[in-house]
Structure 1
Amino acid sequence: MKVLILEDVIEHQVRLERILDEISKESNIPISYKTTGKVREFEEYIENDEVNQLYFLDIDIHGIEKKGFEVAQLIRHYNPYAIIVFITSRSEFATLTYKYQVSALDFVDKDINDEMFKKRIEQNIFYTKSMLLENEDVVDYFDYNYKGNDLKIPYHDILYIETTGVSHKLRIIGKNFAKEFYGTMTDIQEKDKHTQRFYSPHKSFLVNI
């Protein structure tokens, strides 16, 4: 399970990372995470990595109120299947998740004790794992790797793939998103020989059939 964390306070970063390590060890769930307190760095992770399944976000970042909601909207743009959890001391903002249309799974209060905090994080981890297992059973994915860059999107949400004009960089157009990723048309067609999910009406396009 891949987790991405946006938190600008070191103390809270360390707390969440420690608890994730404990849950991973106790539950035998492999969890890899990246943590940053820099919004731009976090946004670059989002734009370049499609396979994060769970996002933990603070809401107020470096004094910018509700910045976490804006970041959540960006996550939804690039990864409509992501699970988002807000971790904040601003519990009064819970109802704003509907206003920003980010469909957050949970809203965890930073001020609760460690035992309760861990229980809430654990619930979110278990839910994410169950969703991953469920989706693997019923959803057919376009699972593509190019030179260490992973992309995993359900076929039923893909419309087509196009070139971008930049060498080895493509753009996938979906029902609710557009995503640039590294790869080549030739490489995708070669890997698609057996499944034949794509048709090429032009050398610059692959259409999901």
Structure 2
Amino acid sequence: MAINIYIAEDNFSQRQQLVAAIENYALFSNWEMKIVSAVASGEELLASIDHENQWNVYFLDINLAEDAKINNGFLVSQKIRVFDPFGFIVFITVRSELSFLTFQYRVQALDFIIKDPAVNIAERVHSCLKTVEQRLNSLTNSQTLHLNTGNDLQSFLVDDILYLSANKGHVLSLFTREDSYPIYLETLNHLETELANSFIRCHRSYLVNQKAIQQIAKDFKSLSLNDGTIIPISVRKKTQVRAFLQGRDRKTIADNF
């Protein structure tokens, strides 16, 4: 399984420094790592991305060429997140005070490398790629779902899903802690069977990740998730929810019950 790597850095010598550091690390990696593009602008990088590849790493300079249409690495990262929610994004900049903006743009950056003579860029790049390897080794041992979101098939880690709900028009909604997605050409009945070991059907319109359940109401009319969402429990599903509660060795639920 290949890890595609993309670089957007408008300074040629610094771009070559990143390429050299990545190529050096790739020689000793157990993963296949490939630099797909090393370019100066956000437009070039976005145009070069292989949307079919599952695992990608993006090294983005925050301040790109001023004459480019997309001259801000944060804006590039937002566009990436539209189609690649699991890609690893590393920001590179001379301005350390910009690091807080990664939270404002809600793009979940892996790291923030400062261009400074005191910083060994190659070591920081190697550290980032090592972290990517460790996370992917863990993720590839986890269950994933490939679901139709309307534009294409998107991969979701089962552990990241809080719940799914049915809507009118035969479209489901999938909720993670960070976002929600429309799901097409799928049913809760099918997903209930596929996710039987980790999700519970507490209502005809809701399928909930068992790990996300924080508390179950004493009257068994609702349950709350660890993000604060309240999900109804139907009369027909109370027995199933009781059985789940009794069968789980989960102190956090028992204490709140």
Alignment TM-score, normalising by the size of structure 2 = 0.55
Q: What is the aligned partner in structure 1 of residue 26 from structure 2? A: 24
- Matches of 1:7 and 1:177 in 2, distance apart? 32
| Pairing partner for 2:6 from 4, 7, 27 | 4
CA distance, structure 1, for counterparts of residue 77 and residue 83 of structure 2: 10
Q: Which residue of 2 aligns with 1:82?
A: 87
SS in 1 for 2:186: strand
Q: Aligned partner of 2:65: which letter?
A: H
Match of 2:97 among 73, 92, 98: 92
Q: Judging changes above 3 Å, is the alpha-carbon distance between structure 1 residues 15 and 178 closer, same or farther for their aligned structure 2 residues?
A: farther
Q: Deviations over 1:51-70 (max 9, x none)?
A: 24211100011127971111
* 1:61 maps to which of 64, 69, 89: 64
- RMSD across aligned positions (CA): 3.5
CA distance in 1 between counterparts of 2:121 and 2:110 reads 15
Letter in 2 for 1:207: E
Q: What pairs up with 1:151-162 in 2 under 5 angstroms? A: 153-154=155-156, 156=158
What is the deviation of 1:36? Answer: 1.6
Count how many residue pairs are aligned between Structure 1 and Structure 2: 168
C-alpha contact (below 8 Å) 1:4/1:55 kept by paired residues = yes
Q: Do the aligned residues in 1 keep the contact of 2:55 with 2:86 (CA within 8 Å)? A: no
- Other-structure match for 1:44: 47
Corresponding residue number in structure 2 for 1:207: 186
Query: How much does 1:44 deviate?
Result: 2.6
Does the CA contact (< 8 Å) of 1:87 and 1:108 recur in 2?
Answer: yes
Alpha-carbon contact 1:78-1:178 (below 8 Å) kept: no
Moved more, 57-66 or 68-77: 57-66
Q: Percent identity?
A: 27
Return 5+ residue gaps in structure 1 as ranges: 144-149, 160-172, 180-204
User: 1:78·1:177 contact (CA, 8 Å) conserved in 2?
Assistant: no
Distance 1:36 1:66, change over 3 A: closer
For residue 15 of structure 1, what is the amino acid of its counterpart?
Q
**Range with bigger deviation, 121-130 or 102-111:** 102-111
With normalisation by structure 1, the TM-score equals 0.66
Distance in structure 2 (CA, Å) of the matches to 1:78 and 1:152 = 8
- Cα separation, 1, equivalents of 2:86 and 2:59: 14
Instruction: Give secondary structure in 2 for the equivalent of 1:153.
Output: strand
Deviation at residue 113 of structure 1 after TM alignment: 5.4
2:146 is matched with 142
- Distance in structure 2 (CA, Å) of the matches to 1:177 and 1:40: 27
Q: 2:109 aligns with which of 81, 100, 104?
A: 104
Higher RCO (Cα < 8 Å, 6 or more apart): 1
What CA distance in whole angstroms lies between the structure 2 residues aligned with 1:36 and 1:102?
21
CA distance, structure 1, for counterparts of residue 31 and residue 5 of structure 2: 12
> C-alpha displacement at 1:30, in angstroms?
2.4
Distance change >3 Å, CA 96–CA 133, structure 1 → 2: same
Give distance in 1, aligned partners of 2:50 and 2:4. Answer: 15
Give the SS at the match of 1:63. coil
Find the residue that maps to 1:207 and give its secondary structure. coil
Q: Distance in 2 between matches of 1:80 and 1:37?
A: 23
Going from structure 1 to structure 2, the CA distance change for 1:153 and 1:60 (only over 3 Å counts) comes to same
